[in-house]
Structures are given as structure tokens and as C-alpha cells.
Amino acid sequence: KAYIVCFLYINNDLLDSIPLEKSKSLHYNKALSKNRGLIMRCPNCSCDNDKVIESRSNQHGTSIRRRRECLNCGYRFTSYEKIEEKRITVIKKDKREEFFDINKIKRGIVSCTDKLNIDDEVIKQLLENIEINIRQQAGSKREIHSSQIGEETLKQLSTINTVAYVRFASVYRAFDDLKQFIQEIERLNKKVSS
């Protein structure tokens, strides 16, 4: 059996994947990490001698979760690896540009789902889906219009809760009278019934 050990520099400029035999992996891991200045310290005893017990990637393959065990004190902890992607530029309605920030969407979603008893895991998955779709829509140019982000968020919200959808739509589309609310609800009903 061969094992692959990956070492990532923080800026993601270098990625070494090295097939190792099980018996050599811990020794080699420690030697390579010291040579490159990369150390994973135990949060319990600060020892840098650990082993990976389990590795899992998320369903989209964009991050890896590793369960580790300290060989000094036996403490188990979790570490994460995530791809550092080129930042996406959002083109606003007034043509200003700013970097994409998923936390802005998160604040909007948390606000529109307030008191609706929606599980945190559902919101986390919703945000992950929105971010993945936005990255795909941004393409190789790494640019996206703010209107595309709003529409993607509405599309995802419509799958989990219609009240949250209408709340978000009322702010995003800047409703200023009851008639607009009613039109949006009718539009949503047509989508749901078809």
C-alpha cells in the first residue's frame, strides 16, 4: 500500500505529493516538515510528532479534513486543508469593483432566516452551494456581477424556505410597496407549482 502525504505552503505556491510506505511516512513527514518550516503542533502538548488517523474530502473536493493523533500525549485533533483560489471580483451596479466576500451573503441569509428554525447545517450547506456556483459563474476571468450573486442566492433560498426567500428578495430587489411583495410571492408560487 502507498500513502500520499501533501505539504502546502500557506500561499499555496508549492505542493509536493510524495508516495510513501506506511513504515516511513511518519519519519519522512517529520523530516520534510522541519526542512520546510512546516509543523503541525499538538494543541494539547505542543509536540510536533503526530499521525493522521483519517482523511476525508468534502463532497465538492475543495477541502480535506484530517483527524490526527499526537504520538506524545495521545490527544486527537482535527486539521483542515483548503485550496486557496484566486479572488473573485464583484462588479457592482454602479460599476465599482470589490472582492467577493461570502460573509456578506452569510449575514443576509442569517438575517432573512432569523426565527424560522432552519438548522445551522442547512445554512452552511446553502452557503457552500452558493459559493461553488458563484465560482463557476465567475469563470476564468474571476469576475461576476452583483446581480448574478443576488439571483443565485435567491435560487438557493427558494429550495429551503419560501419565507426566507421573500425576506431576502424584499431587500435585494428593494421592495417599497405591498404590491411588489404580492408579485414576488405569486412568482414564487408559480415556480413551486410547476
**Averages of pLDDT over each 10 residues, the chain, 194 residues:** 39 36 44 55 92 87 90 94 86 95 95 92 94 92 94 93 90 84 83 71
pLDDT of residue 174: 82
**Do 98 and 150 fall into the same domain?**
yes
**Do 7 and 74 fall into the same domain?**
yes
Helix (H) or strand (E) holding 142: none
**Do 122 and 101 fall into the same domain?**
yes
pLDDT of residue 66: 93
**Do 76 and 140 fall into the same domain?**
no
**Do 78 and 95 fall into the same domain?**
no
> Does the predicted TM-score (pTM) go above 0.75?
no
- Which cell numbers in the block locate residue 186? 405569486
Tally of domains within the chain: 2
**Do 54 and 119 fall into the same domain?**
no
pLDDT of residue 194: 66
Q: What is the largest CA-CA distance in the chain?
A: 70
Residue 112's domain comprises 89-193
Residue after which a domain boundary falls, among 37, 62, 82:
82
DSSP code, position 82 = E
pLDDT of residue 38: 62
pLDDT of residue 151: 93
**Cα–Cα distance for residue pair 138/67, rounded to 1 Å:** 33
**Do 38 and 14 fall into the same domain?**
yes
Distances from the Cα of 144 to the Cαs of 26, 62, 158, 172, 191, in angstroms?
Answer: 44, 20, 21, 16, 25
Residue after which a domain boundary falls, among 38, 67, 82:
82
